[in-house]
Structure 1
């Protein structure tokens, strides 16, 4: 039996989160590679959002600050990158999300995007959590690969006690020995039962972290993991998408093909409707 739904509340652009509302989606390329890439992906994201009447935040990172190797591509930087993201989203009328890594970045990014995201490795950095809350923006906090779901509740508590309750917690797998992750489906039940809004990161959960100069991964697992997570019960779904993932400058092994994104969304919505109809 699925955990009792979180209370329904206003989310972005008149949409709602919680209750029996369908999940929102966060989708886009891992890192900002070019303005052209952003336009290509944003166009398809808008089409899918309209076709299925669902809220999708367009995401991309201006800086991948935790790359395995110092030689890896990181992105265009904060001001240039966020301006590119803002312009692409504006053309296609999409809300936006990006990662932040410091309190200073939280303030700057809040000028450009609708929702902030705290990366998993930084989820326990109190100053960063507090700064994100103080912007007044919705914030998606990735649950670290080293954090139990019960302990993630304390992270959300930090955010709330800093003046905002616009927070979602994101499951993205737990460290399972060296260079491997496993998704504990109990985490969704535990965090949602505590009244929190929960997101599932379907693509980073398929990573095989470390193991050389770049992390590996297996994008084939994104669909089955997503189906299982939606069946347990959630409020949002995160997936990185790219027209040609093997050529992507970051997360080449776990991003989804852009052509598969609509099927991904459609499948998730079908399962969500079935599960929430029984609540």
Structure 2
């Protein structure tokens, strides 16, 4: 019994015929461009099938891109948040530095006498003893600091150096109960002794007779007596004058001009005759060993 596959030319003849027709069609299309319109129609027919075949890939790519974009937005938002926090912290430091710069400029513009050496020091610590008014600054013997050296701020005299270390020093404030400074009134040049009361905002003028011409608001400056504080620097302003005849002397209090409760930067002064004196060098173990044979 013959099947339909045994009818007609053999398979080899069919293959040969197909190859010959293919070569002819390729030659005709290449040389004569005879099937260009046919290819356009065929592409139009197949194009929807291509879109359908690429649709899953496009959907996956779009989903991945959306997830990537969301992750990028989250990372960028986190980065910008951190940047805002860093800039805010820098702005806060900038405000502090601007205030310190203004204070330093004011301090360096203080009316220091011509030829007098000066140096800026910074507050390191405040004595927590309620019965002592002392502070520690970051300058010491290696910077040429010496005992009884005058210390000022941008408004007036703060106190004097009482102890000198290698890299820091202790300053006794004018408000300490053990401190006294010779002063004189700018208005009439009468001399007084201003002593500390233990309070940062009050000094006491000792042994002021009732008949002395002193008024509230009088400016008191250093007189230069005692060879500790240079002459002519503001110290205090008279706050109250009480003349009680039952007492031997008038009770006179003054307010220090220096801001003793908010010190940050201070000014160290050297006497004019010591302007060219080299800084004191601390004695080291090597120097001591070199001196002893």
TM-score bracket for the superposition, by shorter chain length: under 0.3
TM-score (normalised: structure 2): 0.23
TM (norm. structure 1) is: 0.24
Which is bigger in relative contact order (C-alpha 8 A, separation at least 6)? 1
Q: Which has the larger radius of gyration?
A: 2
